[in-house]
Amino acid sequence: MQYLIFSFWFIVIHTAAYTIAGAAALRFSGDLYRGKDRLYDFQRDMDDPTESKHVQKWFLPAQLLRGLLFSVVFYPALGVLSGLSFPLAFLFVFGLLFVFNDMGCANPFPHNIEGMVYMRDRYLRKRKLWKLYFETFVYALLGGLGVAWLIV
């Protein structure tokens, strides 16, 4: 039962943090995701009603599933993590969310290590990277704080 409660709250924290970070970032990063001339034309165009509707339909189910999968990864370590101080628990969760989930991810994207190796130069615009890192950092910060609170 303890694991189910942990997963429930982890899913809530993950979904809230991801939604807040994404909404904040989208306010100044529309040039990455909107319009025919958007930088990341390999993603759905949020100005296209059909593509935007697809994202709206699948956003919440995708985040609920991601949150569940992330939470299960913590199960074997919950006993050890619950003995950490809040700052150490936060650093651990923040590191997982920021480094493992994003920067070190095996799927190439313009701001992660694999992206720097495998993506075409037109997607690797250094002056645009801060927009991606802002979202990732805010997500990891909010998620790290929430999950650390949940663990400790």
pLDDT at residue 122, as a whole number:
85
Q: Rg of the chain's alpha carbons, rounded to an integer? A: 17
Q: Return the higher-pLDDT residue of 32 and 19.
A: 19
- Summarised one tens digit per residue, pLDDT across range 23-65 is 999 888 888 888 888 888 888 998 999 999 999 999 999 999 9
Average pLDDT value for the chain: 92
Q: Per-residue confidence at 139, pLDDT binned at 50, 70, 90?
A: very high
CA distance 25 to 48: 19
- Summarised one tens digit per residue, pLDDT across range 69-116 is 999 999 999 999 999 999 999 999 999 999 988 888 878 888 888 888
CA distances from 87 to 13, 25, 93, 102, 148 (A): 18, 26, 10, 21, 8
* pTM: predicted TM-score of the whole model, two decimal places: 0.88
Q: Which residues contact 94 (CB under 8 A, 6 or more apart)?
A: 140, 141, 143, 144, 148
The pair of structure tokens assigned to 41 is 């034309």
